[in-house]
Every structure is written in C-alpha cells, then in structure tokens.
C-alpha cells in the first residue's frame, strides 16, 4: 500500500511539472487557436534566466524569480512580434504559424547550445533538499511547491479570465477578433497581454523545473509531453490542460511502477491515441468553441 | 596539448603535427560524414576518438576503405573492434570493454562488498548502459547473487522516482547505475529522497565535477569502476598540466584521449613512417604504459588486454582509490 | 577548394539518400498541407525492414528496398487511419507522438539491436544507385502531382471544406498522400541503412523529422525542384562549413522563421524547374540580345 501511495505522490509531482508547462501553452492556444511550439523554448529560457540571475548577479531568490518572469514575458512577446504577428496580419494559412513556431523553437534551443554551451547547470540549493516525511512516504519540497503553484496558477487564470474586465476582453477577442475590435477592444494589446502572461507562466515552470532537475538546453523536449497532456485534456481548455497533465503524470508513473518502466514514455503516446479515438476533443474540450 | 608538446620538441619523425578536430555531436551519421572528410579530404594518418561506441561502430567501413586507423577513447561496446568473431582491421581502442566493466562491478559487489541482492537501474536508450547492465547481471548471477529488480529509463528522463520506488520495494543491498553523471546525479538524489539506503555503484560514466557539485551527499559512499585512479601520483602531473593549460579539471575522456594520442605517436615512431597502413600494423603490437595503465594491444582483438579496472569510492566528495580489480 | 572525390561522393550520396524522404514530405506537407513531425519514423521502418530482409532472409538489395517502402506505407495506412481526420495542430502532435513512440519501441526491441543499434548491414548503396533512384523518384512524383490525385491534394490544402463540396474525398486524398510520403521515406531509410551499414533508433528521432521539414520549407513548400535543390544545398553546405556546425541549427531556425514571414514560397518560389522553363528562359535572354542588336544597328545607321 505504501508503495502505491508513494507512486501516487510521484505521479502527482510529475503531473504538476507537466501542468505548469501546459498552462501557458494552453492559454495561448485557447486565445490564438494555435500551438505555440516555441513555448518549450521560453520555458527553457526561463530556467536559464533564473539561474543566471541567482548565480551571476547574486540576486536573492524572490527578486531573481520576478526578474526572470519579466524577462520571459518580454521574450514571449518579442517572439510573437517577430514570428507570428506578420503572419497574422497577412492572414497566412495556419500551417505557416506552426512552421514559424518550430523555427523559433529550434533557434532558441540551439542559440543556447552555440553560445553558452550544452552542459547542464545546477541551481544552488535554495530550498532544503530534505524531503517531507509522512510515515513511510517521502514528498520532495519542490514537488509540493510545484503542485501548489500550478493549482494557484490555474486558479489565478480562471479568476483573470472569468471574472475580470481584461479577462472578458480576452474571451471576446478569442471568440471573434474582428467583432471585439469593433466593440473597442484593442486586439493587439490583448494579444500582447496573453503572450506575456504565457511567458511568465513558462518562466515559473522553467525555474521550478531547473531547480528540481537541472538546467539544460533541451528542456523544451519535455514540453512535448505537456502538449500531449494538453491535447488529452482538451486543447483550448486550461482546466483540461492542468487536469490532463496531472492525470498523465499519475497514469504514467503507476504504469511505470506496476508494469514496465522502459515503456513509460509510450504511455503518454498510448493515452494520446486513446483520446484521439474515443474523444478527439479531449477530456474537457467541447465540440463548439470554448475558451478557458 | 600532447600535439603541442610534441611539436615543441621537434615534432614527430621530424615533421610538425597538425590536429584536425571535428565534433560528431554524438551522432553516428555525423561521425561517418566527419570520418569521410578526415580520411578523404583532410588526409589524416590516424584518428583519435570518437568517444562513444554508437559512433565508433559505423565508421569502420570508412576506415577500411580508406585504410586509416582509428583509436577510440571511451568506446566500450565490444562490437567496435570485433564483429561476428572477426577483428576489424582499422579499429582500435584504448579502454576496456563493457563486458569487462560490468563484470568488474558485479564481481566487486559480490566478492568485496558482500552484496547478495542487487538492483539495476539503466538507460534503455543507451548502448553503453545496456552493455554494462547485461554483463553485470551475468557475472553477478554467476557468482550466486540475485538481481532483485531491473528497471529502465530513457536518456533525457529527469524523474526516476517511479522505477526507484519499485527498486526500493525490492530491498537490494546494492543498486547498479551504469549511466552518465547527469542522470546519476539526479537519480541518486531522488533515490535518497525516497529513503533508499542501499549502496550505489556505477561505471566509468560517473566521474565528473558536476556529479559531485550536484549530488555530493547522495553519492557519498558509492563505488564505481574506472579506468584509472585519479589520485595516482603518476597521473597528478598530467592533471596539473591540463588545468594550467585549460583552466578546468580534466574529465575521464581527457585521460584516455591523452593515452590514445600517445599510442598513435608511439606507433608512428615504431613504424617510422607516416603511411597509415604501416602505422596500423605497428598499432597491433602496441605495448606501452599510459596514464590509464598498461596498454598491450591484442592482435586478435585490437583491445588493450587485461587492463586493470580501478574501483573508486566516493568519500566526502573525493575519489578515493580502493583497489585494482581484475575479473576472475 | 580542393575536394577529394571520395569525400564528395559520400556527401552527394548522403544528400541523394535524404532527398527521397524529402520528396515524400514535399507531397505531404507542400502539396497536401499536412504538417507531419513523424516522417522519420517511416524512414526507420523502411531501414529496419530492408536490413531485416537482407540480413535475415537474404533478399537482394533492390527488392529489400521496395519491401521496406511497402511496409512503411502499410504503417502509414494504420497511422493515417487514426490521425488524418484530425485538425492541423492535432495532426502535428499525433504524428510527433507516433514518431517518438516508434523510436521507443525500436529502442527496446532487442532483436533489431535495440538502442545499441544494428551493425553489419551489407553495404550496397553506391552513388549510381542513389542517382538512379533519385531520378525515378522525381519523375514519379512529378507525375503524381500533375495527375488528378495531385490536383486533389492541392485543393485539399487550399480549401478543405470547398474540396469536399465539389466531391473530393478528402480523407482518401490525404491518405494517398500520406502513404506515398511513407513509401518514399521507407526507401530513403533503406538506402541509408545500406550506406552506413549500421542503424540506431536515435538516428530517426524528432531531430531527423525536423531536418526533413526544414529542407522542404527551404526549397519551397509546393515545389519538387525545391525539394531536390533544398536537399543538395542543406546537406552539402553544412558539410563544407563543418567548423560552424554549432551554429548551423541556429541559422536554420532563423531561416525558417524568415522564410515564413518574408518568402513562404521558399527558394524556388512554388514554381518548378522544368526543361520547358529553362528553354523559355534561354529564349527570353536571347530575345533581349536580339533587341539590343536591333537598336544598335538602328542607332548606327
């Protein structure tokens, strides 16, 4: 029984990692209706930003955290400006967006490799390494943090989108950009806000990931699991992305623990196939357009 | 660095030596392309490296076609030099092979550490890891030990707690972790986080500055098989020289590259020629002592025969040499 | 630059081998508008099948290649059934998923060598074979594109809903395109296997699929000549610039974004280099000269 509970905890913590990564991605998707493949790159940059602010500039953790968030947010907006806006203005086919996003993600990963180098970096231990022990079970502190923070982010986003004026503007823009512009909403500004928030979320994911698992240029690859989790939970639904991620983490871990650890990654893909056959819109996706 | 020294001292057989470096990015196809360029375009007389078996194996056909010898540094897969019972005429290596390493670890665990139950966590996507695992398992069970758990992950994975929890459940005396320092650092930390108290063991992929900086406490008291004793006084001279020249501590590959280069130079001197074919013949009869130990190349295997494995224990972040262990 | 023939031959073969999967992708992504992140998987199916046929069953090279291509196509039939009904994004992620899943399975499949790879594949690929196959591949592809099927694919790419309305079976069209691209991928994989003599699953990871797509984009999405020239340029050039290898992918990333923004038609620009086209070009140039001469004469007299 303890084994099962411990695996469950393992699964929840991995799920939180996926969830944090998926949230920003899903937000952008639900508004812009396109997969920002560059999201993984921003996450990775977030991890590096945090790392350098702490080690090179010796900033205290909270300051470094906020500073890296700002940088990542700016990065996300810059990416939107350079790689996506021109396509949007031209009403380019959706294929072009994906290709452009792919280009950005390749660029981000490799510029780090070419300049700073591919070796991994370790965050200095800011939080205690000792796990929290509950009976026979062990919970890592950072894992707990990630879980709590992803729940918090989700809550914050729900609040932002469902209950604030800006949120309503975002929803309107997502629903119909032209009409909302007619209503006086500055669509361009909304898009910037959305990408910026997405970037900040990516940064949070990146920094926490870096603290727990080291910082390296290929962090973007783990994001693929988050994409799958987001599809699983329903692209376009942020709640779905979070729930999908947590579920993915748990199922993946339990399968790995009880069947075979070698095929762990296959679980993610198997889930993907399963959901595509049974319910292609995802767990929480709705057939009609639905945001957040 | 070796080449620089050599050139300063009058060069090799009276000529200056030029080094042409290429990065294979860990990819077999890149390696083939690079070697084609080295042999066809740059017309090198000998190649040092690559470091991984995954690249050393595919280049053999190019080497044979162009008749240029290659000395792999840390490529431990047996298939680098011998395939289907036949030795590959132009491939050599300067390190011992996987079967040897895996067996050494298993032997030491059983004989010296008196471990009865062992668990293995390995990287299923890495040939090196699979190789070591295979031979660890074989030797350990042959000696009478029991493998109580054998779990896998994939290169690039960062979270090992699912397989580790399973391993914890099986209660092993020793956990064999035959993969590279980054994953070792992460998995050992996670293992300790989960409350696993077993002794950890590994292979030559372990030693690295980052392992210690990341997971010092986690790997405290662990053992690993290595090609040499880092603290051997004979080696110290090389280490200081390296650090002065490059500002960093030398990694394992550095030691072996040093020996490989010297092996090539030795062969050239003995062949007294720059003809790659003659150099290859000379390589087959190599008998020298490098900083990683005695290197006697077997004609039929192109491997260093009976090279000692060094067992290292990590104590307080330092690599403490335990003993030289040979597989019985 | 003084290039040794041996080295050059190797690069040309490598470019030629990769050209075939690229052509397949030109059809799938360029002409049909389906963005697949997993076509390297078809290369691996073809590669391993070819190796299996040659080593274990002793089948000669060319039939093994063809069988490799066919098996890859069968794989596409299966995968396509699940994925082709999906919207663009989903299709991307799904193909990505399949690509990686297949690689994982191969990593664990010890009979094919697993992650450690399969060595000892007979080396049958030579420059002549590659060139011949390339020419055949281009001719067949050109014919497909000109045919009714090809036009259907373009229609589906441009406006899926409208195509359905005029009676095109969208799913079948997409499937045809997918299967053909898989066949091409499989052949490419087989050629690669027999060129290196060694196969490892990680040769066909996401990076390979991405590389193929980049070449297609660079050459121009809907252009066969683009695929040909793109392959040659993007494989030969990096070899010549080996010292800058680290920056190669950085530049690719920038180039891809740039192309999307500034010139989505890529290098060739959506048109094809045909013999007629070259003839017309010459005619244009010689006409210009004739006019010049005429003017001079008039001016002179």
**What are the mean pLDDT values of chain A's consecutive 10-residue runs (292 residues total)?**
83 86 86 84 91 85 88 92 86 80 89 83 75 77 82 84 83 75 80 90 89 85 84 82 89 83 78 79 61 29
Say if residues A20 and A208 touch (Cβ distance below 8 Å): yes
Q: Is A171 on the interface with B (CB under 8 A)?
A: no
Could you read off the pLDDT of A112-131 as tens digits, one per residue?
888 887 778 888 777 766 77
Say if residues C80 and C179 touch (Cβ distance below 8 Å): yes
């260093």: which residue's tokens? B304
Of A108, A228, A276, the CB nearest to C86: A276
Q: Which is more confident, B302 or C298?
A: B302
pLDDT of residue B273: 77
The distance of C115 to chain A (nearest Cα, Å) reads: 12
| In chain B, residues 174-203 whose CB comes closer than 8 Å to chain A | 182, 185-186, 189, 193-195
Could you read off the pLDDT of B48-58 as tens digits, one per residue?
777 666 677 77
Selection from A14, A10, A20 nearest residue A230 by Cα: A20
Tokens of B191: 């293992």
Architecture of domain A2-117+139-278: Orthogonal Bundle (1.10)
A269 and C97: CB-CB below 8 Å?
Answer: yes
Q: Which is more confident, B14 or C167?
A: C167
Chain C residues in contact with chain A using a Cβ-Cβ cutoff of 8 Å = 29, 33, 35, 82-83, 85-86, 88-90, 92-94, 96-98, 100-101, 104-105, 108, 206, 210, 213-214, 217, 246-247, 249-250, 252-257, 260-261, 264
Q: Does the structure show a pLDDT above 80 at B140?
A: yes
Could you read off the pLDDT of A215-243 as tens digits, one per residue?
888 888 888 888 888 888 887 788 888 88
Give the chains touching C; criterion: ≥3 Cβ pairs < 8 Å.
A, B
Q: Is A256 on the interface with B (CB under 8 A)?
A: yes
Q: How far apart are alpha carbons C289 and C102 in whole angstroms?
A: 59
pLDDT of residue B12: 57
Residues of A in contact with C249 (CB under 8 A): 106-107, 109-110, 113-114
Q: Does the structure show a pLDDT above 80 at B217?
A: yes
Could you read off the pLDDT of B276-307 as tens digits, one per residue?
888 888 877 777 777 666 677 777 777 776 66
Say if residues A11 and A250 touch (Cβ distance below 8 Å): yes
Cα of C242 vs its chain's centroid, Å: 23
Tokens of C43: 């290369």
Q: CB neighbours of A147 closer than 8 A, spacing ≥ 6?
A: A12, A13, A16
pLDDT of residue A70: 92
Could you read off the pLDDT of C161-220 as tens digits, one per residue?
777 788 778 888 889 999 999 999 999 999 998 888 888 888 888 888 888 888 888 888
B28 and C203: CB-CB below 8 Å?
Answer: yes
The mean per-residue pLDDT over the stretch C115-128 comes to 78
Burial of B301 (0-12, 13-18, 19+ CB in 10 A): middle
Question: How are beta strands B91-93 and B70-72 bridged, if at all?
Answer: parallel
Q: CB neighbours of A286 closer than 8 A, spacing ≥ 6?
A: A234, A237
pTM of the full structure: 0.80
Q: Does the structure show a pLDDT above 80 at B257?
A: no
Of A122, A131, A256, the CB nearest to B213: A122
For C290, half-sphere exposure in the C-beta direction (CA atoms, 13 angstrom radius) is: 6
Most confident of B55-69, C65-79, C244-258: C65-79
Of C14, C201, C245, the CB nearest to B25: C245
Residue of C nearest to B53 (CA): C116
Q: CB neighbours of C165 closer than 8 A, spacing ≥ 6?
A: none
Q: Give the C-alpha distances (Å, rounded to integers) separating C149 from B103, B216, C73, C170, C175.
A: 60, 63, 17, 11, 11
A100 and C257: CB-CB below 8 Å?
Answer: yes
Burial A161-178 (b: 16+ CB within 10 A, else e): beeeebbebbbbbbeebe
Q: Does the structure show a pLDDT above 50 at B177?
A: yes
Q: Does the structure show a pLDDT above 60 at B224?
A: yes
Q: Is A167 on the interface with B (CB under 8 A)?
A: no
B159 and A7: CB-CB below 8 Å?
Answer: no
Q: Is the peptide bond before C114 cis (omega within 30 degrees of 0)?
A: no
Say if residues A66 and A203 touch (Cβ distance below 8 Å): no
Q: Does the structure show a pLDDT above 90 at B174?
A: yes
Say if residues A229 and A279 touch (Cβ distance below 8 Å): no
What mean pLDDT is reported for chain A? 83
CATH number of B98-226: 3.40.50.2300
Q: How far apart are alpha carbons B177 and B111 in whole angstroms?
A: 18
Residues of C in contact with B39 (CB under 8 A): 6-7
Stretch (H or E) spanning B320: strand B318-325
pLDDT of residue B248: 67
The distance of A3 to chain B (nearest Cα, Å) reads: 7
- Find the largest Cα–Cα distance for chain B: 64
Q: How confident is the model at residue C283 (pLDDT cuts 50, 70, 90)?
A: confident
Burial of B148 (0-12, 13-18, 19+ CB in 10 A): middle
Cα of B230 vs its chain's centroid, Å: 14
SS3 annotation, A124-162: CCCCCCCCEEECCEEECHHHHHHHHHHHHHHHHHHHHHH
Boundaries of every domain in chain A = 2-117+139-278
pLDDT of residue C42: 93
**What are B121's strand-pairing partners?**
B151
Q: Which is more confident, B270 or C294?
A: B270
Of C29, C82, C256, the CB nearest to A103: C256
Radius of gyration over alpha carbons of chain B, in Å? 20
Selection from C210, C217, C229, C298 nearest residue C264 by Cα: C217
Say if residues A224 and C96 touch (Cβ distance below 8 Å): yes
Could you tell me where the DSSP H helices lie in chain B? 2-8, 28-36, 53-56, 60-66, 98-107, 127-142, 161-170, 181-193, 209-215, 233-246, 252-271, 276-283
Q: How many CB pairs under 8 A join A and C?
A: 120
Selection from A157, A216, A166 nearest residue A186 by Cα: A166
Boundaries of every domain in chain B = 2-96+232-296, 98-226
A222 and B158: CB-CB below 8 Å?
Answer: yes
Q: How far apart are alpha carbons A198 and A31 in whole angstroms?
A: 11
Interaxial angle between packed helices B252-271 and B276-283, expressed in degrees from 0 to 180 and rounded to the nearest 10: 110
Q: Which is more confident, B222 or C268?
A: B222
pLDDT of residue B48: 78
Q: CB neighbours of C58 closer than 8 A, spacing ≥ 6?
A: none
Selection from B2, B308, C94 nearest residue A274 by Cα: C94
Pick the CATH number of B2-96+232-296 from 3.40.50.2300, 3.40.50.10470, 3.80.30.20, 2.40.160.20: 3.40.50.2300
pLDDT of residue C289: 64
ipTM of the complex: 0.78
Question: How are beta strands B70-72 and B47-48 bridged, if at all?
Answer: parallel
Say if residues C163 and C155 touch (Cβ distance below 8 Å): yes
pLDDT of residue A173: 77
The distance of C293 to chain A (nearest Cα, Å) reads: 45
Q: What angle do CA B168, B169, B172 make, to 5 degrees?
A: 60
pLDDT of residue A76: 92
Tokens of A228: 């799958």
pLDDT of residue B309: 79
The mean per-residue pLDDT over the stretch B79-101 comes to 73
Q: Does the structure show a pLDDT above 60 at C299?
A: no
């Amino acid at each position: 029984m303890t084994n099962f509970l411990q695996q469950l905890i393992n699964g929840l913590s991995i799920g939180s990692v996926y969830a944090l990564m998926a949230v920003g991605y899903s937000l952008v998707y639900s508004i812009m209706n396109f997969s920002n493949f560059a999201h993984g790159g921003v996450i990775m940059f977030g991890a590096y930003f945090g790392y350098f602010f702490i080690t090179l500039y010796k900033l205290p953790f909270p300051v470094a955290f906020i500073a890296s968030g700002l940088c990542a947010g700016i990065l996300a907006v810059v990416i939107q400006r350079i790689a996506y806006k021109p396509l949007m203005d031209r009403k380019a086919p959706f294929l072009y967006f994906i290709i452009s996003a792919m280009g950005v993600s390749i660029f981000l990963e490799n510029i780090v490799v070419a300049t700073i180098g591919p070796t991994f970096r370790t965050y200095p231990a800011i939080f205690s390494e000792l796990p929290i022990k509950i009976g026979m079970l062990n919970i890592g502190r950072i894992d707990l943090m990630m879980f709590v923070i992803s729940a918090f982010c989700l809550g914050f986003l729900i609040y932002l989108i469902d209950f604030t004026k800006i949120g309503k503007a975002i929803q309107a823009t997502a629903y119909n950009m032209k009409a909302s512009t007619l209503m006086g909403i500055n669509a361009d500004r909304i898009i910037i806000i959305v990408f910026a928030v997405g970037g900040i979320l990516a940064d949070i994911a990146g920094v926490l990931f870096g603290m727990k698992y080291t910082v390296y240029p290929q962090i973007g690859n783990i994001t693929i699991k988050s994409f799958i989790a987001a599809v699983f939970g329903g692209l376009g639904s942020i709640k779905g992305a979070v729930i999908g991620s947590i579920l993915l983490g748990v199922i993946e871990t339990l399968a790995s623990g009880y069947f075979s650890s070698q095929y762990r990654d296959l679980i993610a893909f198997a889930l993907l196939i399963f959901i595509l056959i049974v319910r292609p819109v995802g767990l929480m996706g709705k057939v009609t357009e639905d945001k957040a | 660095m070796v080449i620089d020294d050599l050139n300063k001292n009058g060069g090799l057989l009276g000529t200056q030596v030029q080094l042409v470096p290429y990065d294979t990015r860990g990819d077999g196809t890149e390696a083939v392309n690079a070697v084609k360029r080295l042999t066809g375009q740059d017309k090198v007389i000998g190649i040092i490296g690559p470091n991984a078996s995954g690249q050393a194996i595919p280049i053999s056909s190019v080497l044979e076609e162009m008749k240029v010898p290659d000395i792999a540094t840390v490529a431990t897969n047996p298939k680098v030099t011998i395939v289907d019972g036949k030795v590959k005429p132009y491939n050599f290596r300067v390190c011992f092979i996987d079967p040897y390493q895996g067996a050494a670890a298993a032997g030491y665990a059983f004989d010296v550490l008196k471990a009865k139950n062992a668990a293995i966590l390995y990287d299923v996507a890495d040939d090196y890891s699979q190789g070591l695992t295979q031979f660890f398992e074989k030797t350990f069970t042959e000696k009478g030990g029991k493998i109580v758990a054998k779990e896998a992950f994939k290169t690039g994975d960062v979270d090992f707690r699912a397989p580790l929890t399973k391993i914890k459940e099986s209660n092993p005396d020793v956990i064999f972790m035959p993969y590279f320092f980054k994953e070792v650092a992460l998995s050992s930390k996670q293992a300790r986080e989960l409350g696993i108290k077993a002794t950890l063991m590994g292979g030559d992929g372990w030693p690295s500055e980052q392992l210690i900086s990341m997971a010092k406490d986690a790997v405290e008291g662990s053992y690993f098989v290595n090609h040499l004793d880092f603290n051997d006084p004979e080696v110290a001279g090389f280490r200081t020289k390296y650090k002065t020249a490059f500002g960093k501590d030398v990694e394992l590959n550095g030691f072996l590259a040093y020996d490989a280069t010297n092996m090539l130079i030795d062969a050239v001197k003995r062949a007294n020629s720059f003809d790659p074919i003659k150099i290859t013949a000379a390589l087959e009869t190599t008998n020298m002592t490098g900083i990683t130990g005695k290197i006697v190349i077997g004609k039929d295997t192109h491997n260093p025969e009976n090279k000692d494995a060094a067992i290292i224990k990590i104590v307080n972040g330092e690599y403490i040499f335990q003993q030289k262990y040979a597989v019985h | 630059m003084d290039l040794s023939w041996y080295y050059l031959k190797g690069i040309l073969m490598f470019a030629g081998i990769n050209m075939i999967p690229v052509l397949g992708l030109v059809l799938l992504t360029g002409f049909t508008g389906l963005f697949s992140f997993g076509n390297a998987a078809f290369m691996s199916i073809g590669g391993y099948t070819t190796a299996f046929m040659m080593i274990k069953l002793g089948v000669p090279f060319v039939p093994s290649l063809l069988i490799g291509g066919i098996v890859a196509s069968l794989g596409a039939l299966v995968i396509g059934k699940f994925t082709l009904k999906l919207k663009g994004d989903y299709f991307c992620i799904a193909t990505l998923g399949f690509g990686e899943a297949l690689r994982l399975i191969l990593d664990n499949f010890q009979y094919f060598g697993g992650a450690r790879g399969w060595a000892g594949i007979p080396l049958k690929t030579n420059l002549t074979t590659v060139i011949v196959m390339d020419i055949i591949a281009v001719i067949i592809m050109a014919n497909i594109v000109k045919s009714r099927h090809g036009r259907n694919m373009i229609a589906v790419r441009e406006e899926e809903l409208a195509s359905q309305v005029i009676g095109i079976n969208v799913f079948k069209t997409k499937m045809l395109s997918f299967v053909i691209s898989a066949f091409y991928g499989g052949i490419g994989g087989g050629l690669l296997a027999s060129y290196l003599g060694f196969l490892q699953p990680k040769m066909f990871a996401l990076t390979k699929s991405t590389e193929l797509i980049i070449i297609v984009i660079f050459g121009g999405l809907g252009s066969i000549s683009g695929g040909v020239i793109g392959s040659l340029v993007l494989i030969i050039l990096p070899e010549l610039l080996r010292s800058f290898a680290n920056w190669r992918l950085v530049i690719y990333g920038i180039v891809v974004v740039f192309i999307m923004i500034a010139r989505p038609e890529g290098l060739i620009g959506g048109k094809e280099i045909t013999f007629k086209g070259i003839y017309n070009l010459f005619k244009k140039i010689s006409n210009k000269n004739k006019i010049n001469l005429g003017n001079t004469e008039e001016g002179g007299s």
